[in-house]
Chain A
Amino acid sequence: MPRVQLALTSAGFRRYATYRQATVAGAFTNTVFGFLRCYILLSVAATAGGTVAGYGGPELATYVWMGQGLLAVVASWDQLDLAERVRSGDVVADLLRPVDPLWTYLWGELGRACFMVLTRFLVPTLIGAIAFGLYRPQHAVTYALFALSTLAAVLISFCCRYLIGLSAFWLLDIRGVTVFWVFVSGFASGLYFPLAVLPGWLSTALWVATPFPGLMQGPLDVMVERGGIGNALLVCVGQVAWVGILLLVCKWAQARAVRKLVVQGG
C-alpha cells in the first residue's frame, strides 16, 4: 500500500511542478505583498512604540514574509476539483476506485504542498531575510515544531476544502460557500493581521473553538517562539486534534453525500 501513497504524492508534486510560469508569477506576487504588508506593520509598530501586540520588528517581518510563503503551501484559497467532479458526475469514477477519494485527494495535496515548500515558500522567505532580516529561533527544536505545525496546517486546510467540495452534493454550485470560506479563513487565520491584535476574548475564542488559527497564525507563532516552547507544543497539539476531528467529519459527510448520489438515468 505505501507504493500507492507514494505514487499519489509524487503525482501531486509533478502536477504542480508542470506549471513553472505560474510558480514564478505566484512567487513574484507574494514578494510584492511581502514588501507591502511588512512596511505597513513596521510603520504601525513604529507609531505604537516598537511592537505590535508583543511582536517586535524581526517577529513582524517573519510573520509577514513566512506568512506570504505559507499562503501557497496551505493554499486555503485554491479549491479542490472535487466540486467540479461532483457537478459533472465524474465523481462516480472516483468512488469506484479501490482507494477512498478522501485519501486520494489527501496524498495528492501533500505532494502539492511539498512542491510549494520548495518554491513558493522558500522564495519570499529568502527575499524577506535579505531585505528585512527575519527572526532567528533560539531553540533548534523550533524548526522541527514549525515543520510539524505546517504539516498540520496543510491537513486542516485540506479537510476544510474537502468539506466545501462535498457540499456540492447538496448545493451543486459552491461559489457562494467558497467566497464565504475565503472571508472567514482569511480573517480568522491571522492572514490580514496577527490575531493577538484583536480583543482578548475574540482571539481566545478563535483559538479554542475554531480550526482557523491553525492555518497560518499557528505555524507562524511557533516560528517566532511566541510564548516559548510550551506554547508551541500547545499549538501543535491543538492543530493535530483538529486534523483528527476534521478527518472524521470528512468521512461522515462523505458517507452521507454518497447516499445522496444519483447517477444520471438511475
Chain B
Amino acid sequence: MAEPGRLTIYTRVLRAQIRSQAQYRLSFAFELFASMLTNALDIATVFVLFSVGGGLGGFGAREVLLMAALSAASFATADLTMGNVDNLRVYIRRGVFDSLLLRPLSALGQLMAVTFALRRVGRAVLGLTLYTVALCVADIDWDIPRLLFAIVVPFTGAAFFCSLFVAGATVAFWWIESGEVANAFTYGGRDFTSYPSNMYGGWFRDLFTLGLGFGFVAYFPALALTGQPDPLGVPGWLHWCSPLVTLAAMCLAAVFWRFGVRHYRSTGS
C-alpha cells in the first residue's frame, strides 16, 4: 500500500474537522453568522467613535477605514488558520499533545489542522472584502510598488498575528493557565491596530507601536499607501518595513516554539 503524502493527510484531518463542526447545522449557521456580525461590529465601533469628534487621531474617514479594514483582514485571516492553537494548553493538560509528537508530522501543523475553526471563514472573507473597498475609496497614487505592497500587506499582517498566536500558545508549556495573557496581545493587538497608533499616549504607545511592532500591521502600511507623513515623526522608509518586521516576528515565534517543544516534559501522570 502506497503511503499517502503529507498534504493528503493534512487534507483528511482538515476535512474530518470541518465535517464534525458542521454536524449541528443550526448551531453552526448561527456561529458563522454571529462571527461575521462580530467582525462588522469591530469596524462599526471604530466609526461610532469616529462620529463623535469627526476624526480619529487627526485622520479622515478614508484613512481610518483603511487602517481598520487592514487590521480586520489581517487578524481574521490569522484567526482562521491559527486562532485556536491556544487550545494547546488543553492538549497539554490532558496529555493529548504526546500523541501529536509521536506521529511523523510537524506538531504545529497537526495542531493547526485539529483546531481549525471553519466558522471563521465568514470573518476572513468579510475582512478582505472591506479591505478591498477601503483600497478603492482611499486616496492612493497607484504605482507598481504600492500595488504590490497593498496585495502583500494583509498577508504579512496575518503572518504577524499568527506568530503571536504561536508564541502565546507556546507559553502554555511552562504556564498552563496563561491563555488570558496571550489574549492581551492577540485580541488586544487587533483592537490596538484598528485605530491610528498616534491616538495612544506615553510609553504604552511606544511599546506597542514600535517595541512589539503592532504599528506595522495597519498604521504604517496605511501611511505608506496614502503617502502621508507620520504625526509621530517615524521616517517614511520605515513605513514600508512591515514584511521585514513580520519576518522577524515569525523567526522569533518559530525559535520560541522549538524551544518550548524541546523542553516539554509531558504531564507526568
CB distance from A69 to the nearest CB of B (A): 14
Is A197 in contact with B49, judged by CB distance below 8 angstroms?
yes
A177's nearest neighbour on chain B, judged by CB, is B30
Is A183 in contact with B37, judged by CB distance below 8 angstroms?
yes
Is B27 in contact with A187, judged by CB distance below 8 angstroms?
no
A179 and B30 in contact, given A21-B175, A33-B191, A39-B204 (Cβ under 8 angstroms): yes
**For the complex, what is the distance from the CA of A198 to the CA of B47, rounded to whole Å?**
11
Contacting residues, chain A, for B176 (C-beta < 8 A): 21
Is A192 in contact with B41, judged by CB distance below 8 angstroms?
yes
A22 and B41 in contact, given A39-B204, A183-B34 (Cβ under 8 angstroms): no
Interface members, chain B 42-62 (any A CB < 8 Å): 45, 48-49, 51-58
Contacting residues, chain B, for A193 (C-beta < 8 A): 45, 48-49
Measured as residues with beta carbon below 8 angstroms from the partner, the interface class of chain A is: 35 or more
Q: For the complex, is A174 an interface residue (Cβ under 8 Å from B)?
A: yes
Is A192 in contact with B45, judged by CB distance below 8 angstroms?
yes
Interface members, chain A 128-165 (any B CB < 8 Å): none
Q: Total interface residues on B, using CB and 8 Å?
A: 44
CB distance from A44 to the nearest CB of B (A): 5
Is B204 in contact with A47, judged by CB distance below 8 angstroms?
no
Partner of A39 from B29, B178, B205 at Cβ < 8 Å: B205
Q: For the complex, is B201 an interface residue (Cβ under 8 Å from A)?
A: yes
**For the complex, what is the distance from the CA of A213 to the CA of B183, rounded to whole Å?**
25
Q: For the complex, is A229 an interface residue (Cβ under 8 Å from B)?
A: no
Q: For the complex, is B132 an interface residue (Cβ under 8 Å from A)?
A: no
Interface members, chain A 159-194 (any B CB < 8 Å): 171-177, 179-180, 182-183, 186-187, 192-193
Q: For the complex, is B28 an interface residue (Cβ under 8 Å from A)?
A: yes
A1-35 vs B, Cβ < 8 Å mask (1 yes, 0 no): 00000000000000000010110011011001101
Partner of B29 from A19, A21, A176, A192 at Cβ < 8 Å: A176
Partner of B48 from A22, A36, A198 at Cβ < 8 Å: A198
B168-207 vs A, Cβ < 8 Å mask (1 yes, 0 no): 0000000111111101110010011001000111001100
Is B48 in contact with A33, judged by CB distance below 8 angstroms?
no
B180's nearest neighbour on chain A, judged by CB, is A25
B30's nearest neighbour on chain A, judged by CB, is A176
Is A172 in contact with B24, judged by CB distance below 8 angstroms?
yes
CB distance from B261 to the nearest CB of A (A): 21
Is A171 in contact with B184, judged by CB distance below 8 angstroms?
no
Q: For the complex, is A48 an interface residue (Cβ under 8 Å from B)?
A: yes
CB distance from B116 to the nearest CB of A (A): 15
Partner of A29 from B181, B192, B205 at Cβ < 8 Å: B181
The prevalent SS among residues of B at the interface is helix
Is B204 in contact with A35, judged by CB distance below 8 angstroms?
yes
Q: For the complex, is A240 an interface residue (Cβ under 8 Å from B)?
A: no
Contacting residues, chain A, for B34 (C-beta < 8 A): 176, 179-180, 182-183
Q: For the complex, is A52 an interface residue (Cβ under 8 Å from B)?
A: yes
B40's nearest neighbour on chain A, judged by CB, is A183
**For the complex, what is the distance from the CA of A111 to the CA of B26, rounded to whole Å?**
34
Contacting residues, chain B, for A44 (C-beta < 8 A): 49, 52-53, 56, 199
Q: For the complex, is B230 an interface residue (Cβ under 8 Å from A)?
A: no
Q: For the complex, is B38 an interface residue (Cβ under 8 Å from A)?
A: yes
Interface members, chain A 40-79 (any B CB < 8 Å): 40-49, 52-53
Is A48 in contact with B30, judged by CB distance below 8 angstroms?
no
Q: For the complex, is B115 an interface residue (Cβ under 8 Å from A)?
A: no
Q: For the complex, is B31 an interface residue (Cβ under 8 Å from A)?
A: yes
Is A180 in contact with B181, judged by CB distance below 8 angstroms?
no
Is B200 in contact with A175, judged by CB distance below 8 angstroms?
no
CB distance from B233 to the nearest CB of A (A): 17
Is A36 in contact with B192, judged by CB distance below 8 angstroms?
yes
Is A47 in contact with B53, judged by CB distance below 8 angstroms?
yes
**For the complex, what is the distance from the CA of A49 to the CA of B45, rounded to whole Å?**
20
Is A28 in contact with B184, judged by CB distance below 8 angstroms?
yes
Contacting residues, chain A, for B180 (C-beta < 8 A): 22, 25-26, 28-29
Contacting residues, chain A, for B56 (C-beta < 8 A): 43-44, 47
Q: For the complex, is B87 an interface residue (Cβ under 8 Å from A)?
A: no
Contacting residues, chain A, for B184 (C-beta < 8 A): 28-29, 32-33
A32's nearest neighbour on chain B, judged by CB, is B184
**For the complex, what is the distance from the CA of A241 to the CA of B205, rounded to whole Å?**
43
CB distance from A25 to the nearest CB of B (A): 4
- Can you give 23 A-B contacts (C-beta < 8 A)? A19-B177, A21-B177, A25-B175, A25-B179, A29-B183, A29-B184, A36-B192, A36-B200, A36-B204, A37-B191, A42-B201, A43-B201, A44-B53, A44-B199, A47-B53, A47-B56, A171-B24, A176-B26, A176-B31, A176-B34, A179-B34, A179-B35, A193-B45
List 9 additional A-B contacts (Cβ < 8 Å) besides A29-B188, A182-B38, A193-B45. A21-B176, A25-B175, A44-B52, A171-B24, A171-B26, A176-B26, A183-B41, A192-B41, A193-B48
